Homo-oligomer: A and B are copies of this chain.
Amino acid sequence: MYDPTLRWSNGPVKTKSKSESKTPSGDESLPLYRQVKKALQKIIEAGHYGPGKPLPSESALASQLQVSVGTLRHAVDELVHEHVLVRRQGKGTFVAPHNRARFMFQFFHVERRQDPEDNEPTSEQEFPDIACLGFSRDKADAGEARALRIKLGDPVFRIDNKLSLRGKVVVLDRLVLSTAMFRNLTEKRFVERASTVYALYQTDFGITVLRAQERARASAASKVVAAVLSLPAGAPVMEVHRLALTFGDKPVEYRVSFINTQAHDYVSVLSKKA
Does A131 have its Cβ within 8 Å of any Cβ on chain B? no
Partner of A218 from B83, B210, B237 at Cβ < 8 Å:
B237
Q: CB-CB < 8 A to A265: which residues of B? A: 215-217, 241
Q: CB-CB < 8 A to A236: which residues of B? A: 218-220, 236-237
Q: Which of A19-27, A44-52, A61-69, A266-274 contacts B (4 or more CB under 8 A)?
A: A266-274
| Contact digits for A89-121, partner B, Cβ 8 Å, 1 yes 0 no | 000000000000000001101010100100000
Contact of A146 with B116 in the complex, beta carbons under 8 Å? yes
Q: How far is the CA of A200 from the CA of B218 in the complex (A)?
A: 31
How far apart are A119's CB and chain B's nearest CB, in angstroms? 11
Residue of B nearest to A249 (CB): B273
Q: How far is the CA of A116 from the CA of B146 in the complex (A)?
A: 9
Which among A82, A270, A271 has the highest number of chain B CB atoms within 10 Å?
A270
Q: CB-CB < 8 A to A215: which residues of B? A: 111, 113, 265-268
How far apart are A260's CB and chain B's nearest CB, in angstroms? 9
- A201-216 interface with B by 8 A CB criterion: 210-216
| Contact digits for A236-249, partner B, Cβ 8 Å, 1 yes 0 no | 11100110000001
Contact of A270 with B238 in the complex, beta carbons under 8 Å? no
Residue of B nearest to A111 (CB): B215
Does A16 have its Cβ within 8 Å of any Cβ on chain B? no
